[in-house]
Amino acid sequence: MDSGKVVQRRKPDFPVVGPRATDRSQNLQEVGAKNLDLTKVLRLLEDPLTANLTERHLFVLKKLLKRSQIGFLLRELTGVAKILNICAEKVKDHPEYVPVLCEALEICRLPFLKEKSSDELNYARDVVEFISHMGCLMRVSDADVRRQVVESVKSFYCSVAPKQLLDGLQPTSPGYRLQLLELSDLAQTLLLSTATLENQPVVKLQLLKTLQMLSASSDRNCALMLNARGAETICLHMNEPDPSGQVLFRSSEILWNLLERGSMDKVTAQLSSMECVVSLKEAFLHQLMNGCSHADFQLRNDLLVITTLIAENPSCQLIESLFAKQLLVFATFPELKTPNPLVRNLNLSYNNDDLKLKKLLLNLLVSMSKDFAALQLYREEQVMLALLTLAKPPAAAPEHPPGLRHWSSVQQDELQLQALATLAAIAPLMLDEYMSCQGNARLLFLLDCCIGQDSYFGQGHSFHGDGDRGSKKAQMRHCIRVLRAVTSSGDESVNQDLCDQGTINQLMGILMQMEASPDEDDEVTLEIKSDTQLILSALCETDMHRKELFGSDGVEMAVHFLRKGSDKFFSGLGHNRLVLSTVDCVWSCIVGCYTTEDYFLAKEGVFLLLDLLVSSPRCVHSIVLTTLLELCDNPNTLSHILSWRDDGDRTAPGLLLQLWRREEEELGVRRNKHGGLTDPQRPLLSFYQQDSQRLFPSNIPSAAVLEISENLRSKIFSIFCKLGFQDLPGLSAKDYVTLSIVRRYLDFKVCEVWDEISRELISDGVRPVSPDEEALRSIAKVAGDTAARVMAEQISFLEQQEKEIVSEEERMYKEIKSHWKQQELTAKSWDSYVSRTSNYEILKEVKAQRKKYIDSSRPRPKDGDAAVRPAEHFIGQVVAVETTDDQGPAGVKMTLARAPIKDKADPSTRDPEYFSTVSVKD
């Protein structure tokens, strides 16, 4: 073929039919899909030969984005992320790439597309990396790009309807991106970008809204933000200039989310720095002085709550930043007049928001009181006086001038309860200021108002106002709490001041008045009763004169509560605390004073304690046994203990021995089925001591010594030492077996301690000197011999019990045999009777046999007597009996009447002397 000629192929002659519009667009998309391979686009962008072809890049990228208007495919996300990253790098020198980035980020708002159902799982890792790359685009300084990034992330939280999809493509599930977002570091990246948005307030506000959504929806997002010191970052930037006025609000919401869903310790630690505390102070003071709307008041209170949480951190800088001193000025306003310029221009509206502010400031006092440096500020700002002023009843509060704003009665009631709750925490730490402000007198006056028949009724319904609305129960409850707190501190001046004002009789009167009330016991009432008894215990525990003041009325009160028993111990209302406080009141206010002890015994107090020991759970046994042990010092107590019986006729020694067996069962002590010793080398060793055979430092008691205070065995042994170990009533053989162990408890315990000393010496490699070594061997031998004697004694008890059981069985068998013999004789007699009454021949035979027996039993008369005196039968009857001075039967003189029995054949003959008297002398 000639190369200079051009050969043209002729077109066919048949007509050509053009494709339809839909087919053409589909074909174009297919051709575009083939031509726009992501690998080729990446090669175009990265190849050094084509890296500077900006127009070519923009053309291809626009074509690529046009093809992806319905969303990005999951399998292409890795390539798309690389492309966006390259474009972000080129934006620095070529702003022409900004529209491409914005359009691509706008497409990211749409759901990702999957070709198969398994794509969501297969490309999950690619999606996580893509979302992370999206956050990295915040490094682009252009505001539009940053705004698109933020808007794209926000679109994850709203359902965006996908556009019309091609065949074979499906959108991912709505929560798919949110689940994978938590696995990425998007939240952390967005948080770090807040520092670069000082000159873009609009974007910053949008970013804060997005961070608020991220922190409110996921704990993991909060953790990621805290790892990047998110709380500190947000706090440091929340006071920057803000035309919209919403940055501070959004920042506080983010901090709230981090506190609620993140780690509170991390948040407070990050906010405790000097810079953050100063930032919080500026924000709070700005809102306090300039806030005028309800939203401003709420934001002010939220900032104060965050400050309160920070105050609980020991390393916070509230005092060093002078923020604490300013807060104390607001906390004592308007109760105390102060020339401080901070409150000179402060105008409270006395609305609910201001009430919350005041209550939060009082609550802040409790949080700050953990720092001793804050107590000095409390003294300088007269916080104690302000609290006691708030705690006054309304009748004692000063009247407000007409036209001047003040707290309403309901608000005053709530502030009074809050002040009392604050006093309960602060007063024990500032007893000098408490006494200088006459705190006892003020509280006792309030207590009188609570129990008096006046018109003072509680009207608040706050957190501290639990109880019946319209009553004074909540005020009484918190007043008693404060008194319990100050008396529990043990300061003698405070307790003596209370006793001088008649507090003991006043509290006992309150208790009996509440008991006489027909209302049922609720949680608040039971707490008041138990706290009142604890106050009495604290006042009377160490002073004999106060125990005498407690007197018979106090004994009557204690006996009354003991009679209630422990049936409602697990009711959940507080009966358990009341039982414990009652026993503690007996121990502290009665035991130790013979006059009250004797009256307590006369009122069967020991019987009630033993009844409580039977019915109460194990946690109460220790204090009851301790009280009984202290009462045993009174010689009259032992007879009461030995005479006690329960419903099952069980004695007190039997009860104590049963408690001993239960205690050893709980401790895992090895015993046989009769409760006897099984291991003579370790007669008292519990399971916990076997489990912890470790050595203790020299300044810490060993396990053998520690367990004495952790169980009841030592107390039971001490009580038996008072009662004695002989002639105890109502004990069984099993009880005697246990009693033999109790009797040797001290010996076993001493040997156990010496055994620990020997083991410690061996473990330390110390060899004692010969006399000491011999002494240790002797102690170990004595321990073994003692255990052997106890085991022999227990065996003898069991053998004696076995003999008694056999003897009892034999006696029972004899009784049963006798019973059956008697039944047989009765049956035989009945058969004989029946046979006689039913058969005449048998009756005649029996009669003849009986007559024969009678005749054979009569004495035969002598022949001489028979001739002189005829046979005569008579019936005698005693007419009179006389006694003489003679001894024996000779001293009895009887008068008889007799009647001879004549033969029926001669009825006419009759003895003329029908009655005759005969003197009979033996």
Determine which of 29-43, 271-285, 501-515, 657-671 has the lowest per-residue pLDDT on average.
29-43
**pLDDT value of position 879:** 52
**Please, what's the b/e burial string for 663-697 (b: 16 or more CB within 10 A of its CB; e: otherwise)?**
bbeebebebeeebbbeeeebbbbbeebeeeeeeee
Strand order in the sheet with 892-901: 873-883, 892-901, 919-920
Predicted confidence band at 634 (pLDDT cuts at 50, 70, 90)? Answer: very high
- Distance CA(592)–CA(542), nearest Å, equals 9
Bridge partner list, 645: 651
Q: Extract the tokens encoding 916.
A: 């005759």
* Residues spanned by the domain of 677: 648-834
- Three-state DSSP at 302 gives helix
Evaluate whether 63 touches 36 at the Cβ level (below 8 Å).
yes
Residue-by-residue DSSP string for 54-103 = HHHHHHHHHHHHHHTTT--BGGGHHHHHHHHHHHHHHTTT-GGGHHHHHH
- Distance CA(261)–CA(222), nearest Å, equals 7
- Based on the fold, state whether residues 596 and 722 are members of the same structural domain: no
- Distance CA(608)–CA(821), nearest Å, equals 51
- Distance CA(207)–CA(197), nearest Å, equals 9
Q: Extract the tokens encoding 615.
A: 């019915």
| pLDDT of residue 27 exceeding 60 | no
Q: Extract the tokens encoding 881.
A: 């009996």
- Based on the fold, state whether residues 656 and 626 are members of the same structural domain: no
How many other C-beta atoms can be found within 10 angstroms of the C-beta atom of residue 858? Answer: 7
Q: Which of 547, 642, 522, 533 is CA-nearest to residue 598?
A: 547
- Based on the fold, state whether residues 678 and 551 are members of the same structural domain: no
**pLDDT value of position 891:** 57
- Distance CA(199)–CA(192), nearest Å, equals 15
Evaluate whether 122 touches 112 at the Cβ level (below 8 Å).
no
Give the residue ranges of DSSP H helices in 291-430. Answer: 294-311, 323-331, 341-344, 352-368, 372-380, 383-390, 409-426
- Distance CA(896)–CA(901), nearest Å, equals 16
**pLDDT value of position 696:** 59
Residue 922 lies in a domain: no
- Say what percent of the chain tops pLDDT 70: 84
- Distance CA(564)–CA(324), nearest Å, equals 50
Q: Which of 534, 536, 530, 529 is CA-nearest to residue 551?
A: 536
- Distance CA(215)–CA(257), nearest Å, equals 6
Q: Contacts from 722-725 at CB under 8 Å and sequence distance 24+?
A: 722/629, 722/632, 722/638, 723/632, 723/638, 723/641, 723/642, 723/652, 723/653
- Based on the fold, state whether residues 777 and 637 are members of the same structural domain: no
Determine which of 117-126, 521-530, 763-772, 825-834 has the lowest per-residue pLDDT on average.
763-772
Averaged pLDDT for residues 328-333: 92
Higher-confidence residue of 35 and 427: namely 427
Bridge partner list, 900: 874
DSSP tag of 877: E
Q: Which helix (H) or strand (E) holds 562?
A: helix 544-563
Determine which of 156-165, 264-273, 809-818 has the lowest per-residue pLDDT on average.
156-165
**Size of the chain, expressed as the number of residues it contains:** 922
- Based on the fold, state whether residues 666 and 808 are members of the same structural domain: yes
| pLDDT of residue 166 exceeding 80 | no
How many other C-beta atoms can be found within 10 angstroms of the C-beta atom of residue 656? Answer: 26
Residue 217 lies in a domain: no
- Distance CA(105)–CA(91), nearest Å, equals 15
- Three-state DSSP at 907 gives coil
Higher-confidence residue of 7 and 375: namely 375
| pLDDT of residue 772 exceeding 90 | no
* pLDDT, mean over the chain: 83
- Residue in the block written with tokens 């003197």: 919
- Distance CA(560)–CA(557), nearest Å, equals 5
Residue-by-residue DSSP string for 216-263 = HH-HHHHHHHHHTTHHHHHHHTTTS--SSS-HHHHHHHHHHHHHHHS-
- Based on the fold, state whether residues 622 and 696 are members of the same structural domain: no
Residue 101 lies in a domain: yes
Cα→Cα distances 515→539, 562, 575, 576, 737, Å:
22, 13, 14, 17, 46
Residue 467 lies in a domain: no
- Distance CA(297)–CA(354), nearest Å, equals 8
| pLDDT of residue 31 exceeding 50 | no
- Based on the fold, state whether residues 613 and 690 are members of the same structural domain: no
**pLDDT value of position 13:** 36
- Distance CA(162)–CA(109), nearest Å, equals 10
Q: Extract the tokens encoding 124.
A: 């999950």
- Distance CA(784)–CA(787), nearest Å, equals 5
Tell me which of 834, 858, 892 is where a domain ends: 834
Bridge partner list, 898: 876
**pLDDT value of position 362:** 95
- Based on the fold, state whether residues 744 and 596 are members of the same structural domain: no
Predicted confidence band at 892 (pLDDT cuts at 50, 70, 90)? Answer: low
| pLDDT of residue 911 exceeding 60 | no
- Distance CA(290)–CA(271), nearest Å, equals 24
- Three-state DSSP at 898 gives strand
Cα→Cα distances 68→77, 320, 546, 919, Å:
11, 58, 91, 152
Higher-confidence residue of 472 and 862: namely 472
Residue 323 lies in a domain: no
- Distance CA(345)–CA(354), nearest Å, equals 15
Residue 571 lies in a domain: yes
The amino acid at 907? P
Residue 416 lies in a domain: no
- Three-state DSSP at 920 gives strand
Q: Angle between the 323-331 and 352-368 helix axes, to the nearest 10 degrees? A: 130
- Distance CA(281)–CA(326), nearest Å, equals 9
How many other C-beta atoms can be found within 10 angstroms of the C-beta atom of residue 643? Answer: 12
Q: Which helix (H) or strand (E) holds 787?
A: helix 770-838
Determine which of 163-172, 256-265, 480-489, 801-810 has the lowest per-residue pLDDT on average.
163-172
**pLDDT value of position 369:** 92
Q: Extract the tokens encoding 303.
A: 């900032």
Residue 70's Cβ-count burial label (10 Å; 0-12, 13-18, 19+) is: middle
| pLDDT of residue 714 exceeding 80 | yes
Q: Read off the CATH number of the domain in which 506 is found.
A: 1.25.10
Residue 604 lies in a domain: yes
The number of folded domains in the chain is 3
**pLDDT value of position 364:** 95
How many other C-beta atoms can be found within 10 angstroms of the C-beta atom of residue 11? Answer: 7
- Three-state DSSP at 919 gives strand
Pairing relation of β-strands 892-901 and 873-883? antiparallel
- Based on the fold, state whether residues 66 and 132 are members of the same structural domain: yes
Q: Which of 284, 279, 190 is CA-nearest to residue 230?
A: 190
Q: Which residues contact 769 (CB under 8 A, 6 or more apart)?
A: none
Averaged pLDDT for residues 363-378: 93
For residue range 388-413, what is the model confidence (pLDDT) as tens digits?
A: 999 988 765 555 555 567 788 888 88
- Distance CA(47)–CA(62), nearest Å, equals 19
- Based on the fold, state whether residues 609 and 652 are members of the same structural domain: no
| pLDDT of residue 693 exceeding 60 | no
- Based on the fold, state whether residues 678 and 775 are members of the same structural domain: yes
Tell me which of 580, 612, 644 is where a domain ends: 644
Averaged pLDDT for residues 885-897: 56
Q: Extract the tokens encoding 646.
A: 């329960």
For residue range 838-866, what is the model confidence (pLDDT) as tens digits?
A: 888 888 888 888 888 888 877 766 555 54
Q: Angle between the 703-710 and 745-763 helix axes, to the nearest 10 degrees? A: 150
For residue range 112-165, what is the model confidence (pLDDT) as tens digits?
A: 898 888 988 999 999 999 999 999 999 999 999 999 999 999 988 887 666 777
- Distance CA(297)–CA(303), nearest Å, equals 10
- Distance CA(634)–CA(592), nearest Å, equals 9
Between CA 804 and CA 814, with CA 808 as vertex, the angle to 5 degrees is 150
- Based on the fold, state whether residues 669 and 782 are members of the same structural domain: yes
**Please, what's the b/e burial string for 561-600 (b: 16 or more CB within 10 A of its CB; e: otherwise)?**
bbebbbebbeeebbbbbbbbbbbbbbbbbbbbbeebbebb
- Say what percent of the chain tops pLDDT 90: 47
Evaluate whether 225 touches 215 at the Cβ level (below 8 Å).
yes
The amino acid at 413? D
Tell me which of 610, 644, 678 is where a domain ends: 644
